[in-house]
Chain A
Amino acid sequence: MEKYDVAIIGAGMSGIAAGIRLAHFGKKVCIFERHYAPGGLNSFYFKEGRKYDVGLHAMTNFVKPGVKRAPLNRILRQLRISREELNLSEQLGSRVAFPGRDLRFNNDFGLLESEVEREFRNEMDGFRKLVETIQTFDDTEFNYPYQSAREVVRRCITDVVLEDMIFCPLMYYGSSTEDDMDFGQFVVMFKSIFFEGFARPQEGIRNIIKLLLQRYKEAGGIRRMKTGVASFKIEKGRVDRLILDSGEEVQADIVLSSVGLPETYSLCSEKIESETDIKAGRLSFTETISMFKDQPSSFNWGDDTIVFFNNRDRFAYREARDPVDLTSGVICIPNNFDYGEANLPEGIVRVTCLANYETWKMYTEEEYNSEKENWRSRIWNAAKAFMPTNSLDYSKDCIAHDMFTPKTVEHFTWKQRGAIYGAPRKTKDGTTPVSNLFICGTDQGFLGIVGSMLSGIAMANTHALR
């Protein structure tokens, strides 16, 4: 039976990052991935000769090289990856767009401050108080107690519209809980989006995955693709061996699982006793990707990198009742980063909305395809309302398109219910009741691309390198 120092389940951002750390320091480590493609929730594929990204809209946490204590620079050091290799281009500018209100922001926090002052003059003192509360919060501690972020924000800000406009991007980019979030999580997201900001490698997610895999291979890490783990054989409170989908058995001193908390527990051969219910997340999404022959700037959409929109009085971030919730969403235009002369060959517009898992799951194949077609144009129209007017004829000018639903996410990532941000409950220190089994990735609690890599690094350092 093959025996490893560490087995990592899942070749996503957190799993590969953990693998790099362990292999670099001489551990015999193997990553097991059921899919043929690496990347997990952030991946890419080809369809009819075109490249599509899934997951990553933008990398959050953007800071200039050399900025001290910044998570981005910290993880790159830990992974021995240079800023030059990552080759990031900054966003042009983003917006939170509500009925009659716009808050623009970019990688300079001063813009958001002046926008809050313009739209919500009376809230400026409260907003400054909130910023100060965020700056003084110690987010490096793993085990701070739960605190409702809504309650903390309401102590500073009285206008519910401003409150919702602040929450909207933070929830869309990483909340696994409905309508509220843990204040610690809020602080991490606020810093990563508003204090720091958005950037993207010109080549998209594939550049990041390529760099990570290259580093992992150089360090001597082993990777087994199309090799799922079917179960963990638990004996005396520890994982004794891993049973692969093929029936093959392997052993590992330590197991790091990035497949999610409920998913990991369901792999265990014995029922795991836990103090709280471990439920799969209820928040799942759909995304349409539309390709155009020309750059979005040619049809007057050249300014916005990401637009977070909401067309109701109150912003609702909860499980969709309809197949797709058209009341809010996120528009991402990957062309609108500062690439210099080398922009992407075609115009791309991606629109993400909350979606109902059960409905999409239950459709017959025929219904599924026709509903996708139906919702694609409805999603486009909901998003269009928040964008500058243009001369596009969508049905004619869109030269290629694709769409994923919660069913697609579940099919390719094995995340229960297609919940990309995982279970509402996180295990911040990564421990489980099984002594040599640890959680990294989405359900450890750091989200986003930078967060997931940080999660893999932190869990590898804490549980497998000391």
Chain B
Amino acid sequence: MTKDECKQVVLDIIAEIAPDEELSDVKPEVALREQLDLDSMDFLDIVMELRKKHGIEVPEGEYGNLVSLDSCAEYLTPKFNALV
């Protein structure tokens, strides 16, 4: 999986959790919370959807890695690639 594909996985999850958010021009380097109306319950959902849909575990102490699309890709892509 490439980092761009990984960002798309995260965006797809956000689209499902928050269908009312406009996701077409999310800036990958900017914190998601600064661009979208996401609260801690939504971030918990992103973590749980990653586990449910893709078998990826994000321990509570590492939630900080999900702050922006870039940081998500940095942190999650190796996890995805380790699955196969």
Contacts and interface: CB of A to CB of B under 8 A. Distances in A.
A25 B48 contact: yes
Interface stretch (B3-11, B16-24, B68-76): B16-24
B12 interface: no
A367 B39 CA distance: 55
Contacts, number: 31
The DSSP consensus for interface residues of chain B is helix
A78 B45 contact: yes
A24 B16 CA distance: 13
Interface stretch (A8-16, A68-76, A153-161, A436-444): A68-76
A333 B51 CA distance: 47
Interface in A36-87: 65-66, 68-69, 73-74, 77-78, 80, 82-83
Contact of A73 (B20, B52, B60): B20
A465 B48 contact: yes
Interface residues of B, number: 15
B44 to A, nearest CB: 6
A74 B41 contact: yes
Given A69-B37, A461-B41, A461-B44, A26 B20 contact: no
Contacts of B57: none
Contacts of A65: 20
B39 A80 contact: no
Contact of B17 (A66, A69, A77): A77
Given A25-B48, A26-B52, A465-B48, A78 B41 contact: yes
B52 A74 contact: no
Nearest to B17: A77
Interface in B1-58: 16-20, 37, 39, 41-42, 44-45, 48, 51-52
B62 to A, nearest CB: 14
A465 B44 CA distance: 10
A61 to B, nearest CB: 16
Contacts of A68: 37
A77 B48 contact: no
Interface string A1-40: 0000000000000000000000011100000000000000
A24 B52 CA distance: 9
B13 to A, nearest CB: 12
Contacts of A457: 41
A74 B39 CA distance: 9
Nearest to B51: A25
A77 to B, nearest CB: 6
Contacts of B41: 74, 77-78, 457, 461
Interface string A454-466: 0001000100011
Contacts of B60: 466
Given A69-B39, A461-B41, A77 B52 contact: no
A77 B44 contact: no
Given A82-B19, A461-B44, A465-B44, 20 more contacts: A24-B52, A25-B48, A25-B51, A25-B52, A26-B52, A65-B20, A69-B37, A69-B39, A74-B39, A74-B41, A77-B17, A77-B41, A78-B41, A78-B45, A80-B16, A80-B17, A457-B41, A461-B41, A465-B48, A466-B60
The 3 closest A-B CB pairs, nearest first, are: A68-B37, A25-B48, A66-B20
Interface of B: 16-20, 37, 39, 41-42, 44-45, 48, 51-52, 60
